[in-house]
Each structure stands twice: as structure tokens, then as C-alpha cells.
Amino acid sequence: MNLLKKIKEIFTIIPPKKLLTFLFFLTSTIGYVIAAYFPYAASQIIKFITENLKYNALLYTLYLAIAYITYELLWYLNYYIYSKLQVYYSETIHNKFFDKIINSSQKFTKKIDKGKMLSLVNADIPNYCFLIDSTVSYLSAIIMVFISSFLIFKANVLTGIIAMLSTIFYLLFITKTTTLFAKYLKAEKKQNDYTNNIYLEELTGLKEIKTLPIRTKLEQQLNSKLKNFTQAFTKKRKYYEHNENTSDLIPHYTKFLLYLILIIYLAKYNATLDLIILIIGYYDQIVESLNEMLQSYTEIEQYYVSVERIKDVLYFDDKLSLLYGNYEEDNIFGSIVFKNVTYETKEKLYFNNINFEIKPHTLNVIVGKSGSGKSELFNLLLRFQKLTSGDIFLDGKNIYTYSDSIYSSNITLVKQEPFFYNMSILNNLKLVTKNKENIITACQKVGIHEFIMSLPKKYNTELNQNAYNLSDGQKQLLSIARALLTDAEIFLMDNITSSLDQKTNNEIVSFLKKLSQDHTILVITNRDDLIAAADQILCLDNKVIKSYSSFSELQEKYSYEDKGEEK
């Protein structure tokens, strides 16, 4: 029952191609049936030879040739259909994954980490395609076992009974060893996965390993994992041996018994030699189909875990899309109002009933201790997170009434640690706008154009490994240029100046001041010069927010950094 449920799931998590799947099943079943003809033809050849009927013998060799050709053609068709199915499934799953990723919130990365994504693409999706094959093989092989058993009974009842008994015994033996094999294989893989983490840590923490006396400790960890692996491997190997080698003894001794009985038959009753050839041939076929059936069964059991893992992605739902409305008019000016906003997560109450207003075309800074909720404020504004109660208004309309495309094209973010793709600088920016002139203008505005032109490949310089070849400051400037290209009205900037040197920082401050003439800007910062340049200072403290109109007012009324103490 359990197996049936699994099979059903395999065929339903992706909309199935019913006709192709049916043809796939049909061709493999007919293929097996044709295979049942081979021992019959062989025995007929022998029979006509013993009866001295030359032409009949030759005729059956011709039949055999035709059977072989039909058989291989049929399998070719079967493989062809399977390839089509594989392409369909892998392409569809890739597409679904991609849509899922780009439409999900940050929660997605928490549930499915990058290592898991790698193995999903490299192992689980191909495995899923194999599963389709295994399931169909399993079903066809069952049919084949029945057909061969029936034929053997028809030829001779006594040998039929022996073949049946031995088949049942074989089945029991193999089922047991396969189950144990699968169990230890899983354990072995798990141990191997544990070593992954050690390498990941070694690679990401290489500097620590080189500068702190911790290498031996990590090495000990690795060695203990290797020891566990060896144990699991040895056990798995034992059942693998049983499966592949010891189990062969059962059909072999059965054949021995069949020969003995058939010889007695030949001696006592007037049976003919071709009977032996036929029965041994059918018996070989039962064993073969049984092996096929069990192998497919093991594959289903073994690879089913991939279906579970694919489901984790496909069925992931953060209910984010529920937050978006369908207001489509694109005439946003940029006034923001927080009204009685409360935001609380499982861990923490961030904002308790906060109220403030941001006027269009002003430069606003947000200050506060780390952990006071500055980034959360941005997440709420970006609709990445849903607020607990209260309302946020953009141009007098609740932010949740705007459609996804209108909202995201009008409000943009520059992160503290921006991300760039493994493409050239130009292609990275082209993802936002196709217009190259605009791209260059934006880079000139933020003052990164000259640097880019000084690179040997200029705008075609490839950015590798999240732009490792740029300094943090350069990355920051490039990411501001990217944000400019969106034509957004509202800019959110998260600690963008922390990795800039003084000179660049000064330039950025005056740039932001200029930008605020026709944009609404919110900046998280702890830099005095930026705070001093702001039109409004929002100070987050103890779950509430206070607004100040100038730096001196802030210093006067609020000693958030104990400035007075120092003076």
C-alpha cells in the first residue's frame, strides 16, 4: 500500500504526460513479452535439429532474427520516449524551482540552504527522472514474472512447482538483503554528508584554521567521521555481496535440481531434449525479470527521498503573494506614513505602536543601536515582512494595495552587502535596464565610471564569486548605480557607508543630498556627517521611534551615544 502511494506521488507532483508515460509502459511490457519468445525459438531450433528437419530449424532461426530486431526497435522507441520524458521533467522542475525562488521571501533560504540546492540540481532532479524509469520497469517486470511462470507451468507442471518455490525463496532472501542494504547505504551516505560540513567549514574558515591552533581538532572530527563511514560501508558491502553474489546460488542450485529431474523425465518418459532447453530458458527469464523487479523496487525505495526533497521546494509557501494588491497606477510621489505600527516576531517585539512621517524629496536617516530594528523597518517597507498591526501608507494609500510590479519599481534598496551575479559589470546592470547610455550615466553619477574604465576589460569585466575582484567600497558604489537605474522614487539604504573610506564617504554624502532633491531617501547609518546632512533624523530606541529635525537637536535632546559624557 505504501509503495502504491509512493508510485502515485511520483506521477503526480509534476503534471504528468499521460500519453507518453502510457507508451513508455506499453513498449517496455511488450519488449518483455517478446523476450519470452527467445527461449521458445531456441528450443524449437534444437527440436527440429534432433528431428532432422533442416528447413524448419532454419526457419526458426529466421523467426529468432525477426524477434531480436523487433525487440531492439521496440526498446529503442522505449528509450526515445524516456528521453522525452526526462527532458520534460527536468525542464519543468527547473522552471518551477526558479519561479519558486524568485517569488519567495528570505525565509526560503532559511529552509533550503545552498548546499541542499546544489544536491537538488545535481542529484535529486536526475534521480526523479530515474524514478519514472524504475517505476515503469517495476510494473513491467511484475507482468513478466507472471508470464514466464505461466509458460513454465504450461510446459511441465512439476518443474513449474519447483521453479515457483525457488522463486518465492529467492524473493524472500533478496527482499531481506535489499532492505538491509538500502538501510546501510543510507547510513553510509549520511556519514559522507557529515564530512561535507567539515570541508565547508575548512574552506570558509581557512584563515581561522591557519591562524588559530584548531587544525588538529578539526582533523580529529574528520577522522571520527571517516571511521563511522568505514563501519557503515562494511555493513552495506556485506549485504551488497549477499544481494549480488550469494543470491545467485539459489537459481544455480535450482537449475541443478531442474536438470536432474528433467534427466529422469527423459530416461523414464519419452520427453524430448528441447523440453530441457525450453524450461531452463524460461527459468532464466523468471530470474532475470525478478532481478529487474527487485532492482527497480530498491531504486524506488532509495530515490524516493529525492521526491520528498523536491516537494520541499515545490510546496514551499511563505504566503508572501497574499500581501500584494492590484493597484496599478504609476504616479508615486514618495510620502510615507507609519501609523500605529506594531511589529512582533516569535523572538522579539520590534516596534510598539510607532508613528512617523516622511515627506517626499527629503533625506532621512535612521539611527539606533544594533538590534533596535533598523533593518526590520526596511523589511516592512519593502513588504518582505507583514506587520502585526497598524498601517503604512505610501502617498496616502496602504502599501499592501499596490501591485507587485508598481511597488517594486518605485521603492528600491541598497544593501550593506550587495550581491552581484557571475556576469560582466555591464550584464549585471543590464538586468535592470537594457539602455547602455543610462548605465554609464548612473555610474558617472555615483563616481565609479572612471574606475570601471581603468579596468582592462572596462564594462565587460566579469564579476566572479559575488564580485570578489572589487573592493567593498567599489561594490557599494556599483550597487548604488544599480539602484539608480530602477527609476525608483524611494531609496532605502542600509549602512552603505560603513566600508567606504573617508574621501568616498564625503562624496556619497553630497551625492545623497543632491539625489534627495527629487527622490525620497531613507538611510541607516551611524556616521556623524551623514546624520548632520539629513532633513530628518529618526531615532529608534526601545521599540519606539522619535523624530528630530537636526543633528544638534538630536544631540541636545537625546544622548543616544553618551556624547555628553566624553566632553
Partner 1 sequence: MKRIKEIFKKYWLCLPLRKDYFLFLLLTQALATTANILIPYTAAGIIKFLTINDYATAIKWTVYFSLAGTSQFIFTYFNYYFGGKDSIYCYTNLKRKAFEKISTYDIDFTKTKNIDELLQASSSDIYNVIEINGNLSDIIITFFKIILIIILITLVSPIVGTIVLIFCILYLILIDFFNAKITYHLNQQKKYQDKLAGVFIEAMSSADELKVYNMKNSFKNYFTALNKKFSESFRKKRRYSDIEENFLQLIIELGEVIIYFITIILLFNGNFTLDKIVLVIGYFTLLKEDLSYLLIDCIQNIINKSISVDRIFSIIKYKPKDKIILGKDNTDDIEGIVEFKNVTFSYLGKKTLKNISFQAKPKELTAIVGQSGSGKSAILNNILRLYIPDSGQITIDGKDIYDYTNEVFQTNVSVVSQKNFLFNLSIKNNLALVEPNFKKQQEICKKLGIHEEILKLSQGYNTILEDNANNISTNLKQLLSIARSILTKAEILLFDEITSPLDKQSTKKVIKIFKELSKTHTVIIITHKKEVMDQADHLIILAKGKKVADGTVESLQNNKYYLNLENGSSCSKE
What is the C-alpha separation between 429 and 443, in angstroms, rounded? 10
Give the shortest CB-470-to-partner 1 separation in angstroms.
12
- For partner 1, the binding residue among 2, 326, 502, 517 (CB under 8 A) is 502
Chain residues 331-370 in contact with partner 1, contact rule CB under 8 A: 369-370
Q: Select the span of 130-138, 176-184, 272-280, 289-297 touching partner 1 (CB under 8 A).
A: 272-280
Give the shortest CB-93-to-partner 1 separation in angstroms.
10
Give the shortest CB-126-to-partner 1 separation in angstroms.
8
Give the shortest CB-194-to-partner 1 separation in angstroms.
10
Q: Tell me if 510 contacts partner 1 by CB under 8 A.
A: no
What is the C-alpha separation between 279 and 152, in angstroms, rounded? 6
What is the C-alpha separation between 403 and 328, in angstroms, rounded? 6
**Applying CB under 8 A, what is the total number of residues that bind partner 1?**
153
What is the C-alpha separation between 293 and 147, in angstroms, rounded? 14
Q: Taking every pair of C-alpha atoms in the chain, what is the biggest distance, in angstroms?
A: 121
Helices 54-102 and 273-314: crossing angle in degrees, nearest 10, is: 10
Chain residues 378-417 in contact with partner 1, contact rule CB under 8 A: 382, 384, 405, 408-409, 411-413, 415
Residue 448: count other Cβ atoms within 10 Å of its Cβ.
23
- DSSP string for residues in 473-536: HHHHHHHHHHHHHTT-SEEEEESTTTTS-HHHHHHHHHHHHHHTTTSEEEEE---HHHHHH-SE
- For partner 1, the binding residue among 267, 269, 450, 454 (CB under 8 A) is 267
- For partner 1, the binding residue among 14, 20, 34, 68 (CB under 8 A) is 68
Chain residues 183-212 in contact with partner 1, contact rule CB under 8 A: 189, 192-193, 195-212
- For partner 1, the binding residue among 161, 165, 260, 455 (CB under 8 A) is 260
Nearer to partner 1, 99 or 391 (CB): 99
Chain residues 125-164 in contact with partner 1, contact rule CB under 8 A: none
Chain residues 440-499 in contact with partner 1, contact rule CB under 8 A: 464-466, 468-469, 471, 473, 482-483, 485-486, 498-499
What is the C-alpha separation between 184 and 230, in angstroms, rounded? 11
DSSP character for 229? H
Q: Tell me if 28 contacts partner 1 by CB under 8 A.
A: no
Q: Environment class of residue 99 by beta-carbon count within 10 Å: exposed (0-12), middle (13-18) or buried (19+)?
A: exposed
Q: Tell me if 114 contacts partner 1 by CB under 8 A.
A: yes
Chain residues 522-561 in contact with partner 1, contact rule CB under 8 A: 526, 528-529, 532-533, 551, 555, 561
Chain residues 217-246 in contact with partner 1, contact rule CB under 8 A: 217-219, 222-223, 226, 229-230, 233-234, 237, 240-241, 244-246
Report the candidate in 237, 229, 151, 157 with the shortest Cα–Cα distance to residue 195.
Answer: 229
CB 333 within 8 A of CB 489: yes
Taking only Cα atoms into account, the Rg of the chain, rounded to an integer number of angstroms, comes to: 36
Chain residues 313-332 in contact with partner 1, contact rule CB under 8 A: none
Q: Beta strand 389-394 with 520-524: parallel, antiparallel or unpaired?
A: unpaired
Q: Tell me if 518 contacts partner 1 by CB under 8 A.
A: no
